[in-house]
Amino acid sequence: MKYADYHRALERLQSALYKDPDVDGIYIDASMHRFELSFYLAWNLMKVVLEYEGIEVDSPRSSICEAGKQGMIADTKMWFEMQKKRNLSSHTYNQASALDVYQLIREKYAPLLLALDKEVQRRLEVDQSN
| Whole-number pLDDT of residue 23 | 61
Please name the residues in contact with 118: beta carbons below 8 A apart, sequence gap of 6 or more.
Answer: none
Residue 127 binned pLDDT confidence (cut-offs 50, 70, 90): confident
When pLDDT is averaged across residues 37-64 and rounded to a whole number, the result is 96
Residue 107 has pLDDT above 90, yes or no: yes
Residue 113 has pLDDT above 80, yes or no: yes
Distance of alpha carbon 121 from the chain centroid? 15
Q: How many CA atoms lie within 13 A of 26 on its CB side?
A: 1
Residue 109 binned pLDDT confidence (cut-offs 50, 70, 90): very high
The residue that leads in pLDDT, 71 or 98, is: 71
| Whole-number pLDDT of residue 129 | 84
The CATH superfamily label for domain 2-129 reads Nucleotidyltransferases  domain 2 (1.20.120.330)
pLDDT, tens only, 20-43 = 766 666 778 888 889 999 999 999
| Whole-number pLDDT of residue 91 | 66
Closest CA to 116 of 39, 61, 20, 30: 39
Burial 85-124 (b: 16+ CB within 10 A, else e): bbeebeebeeeeebeebbebbeeebbebbeebbebbeebe
The residue that leads in pLDDT, 109 or 32, is: 109
Alpha helices of 53-109 — where are they, by DSSP H? 60-69, 76-89, 95-104
When pLDDT is averaged across residues 72-92 and rounded to a whole number, the result is 88
When pLDDT is averaged across residues 95-122 and rounded to a whole number, the result is 91
Distance CA 15, CA 88 (A): 22
| Whole-number pLDDT of residue 99 | 81
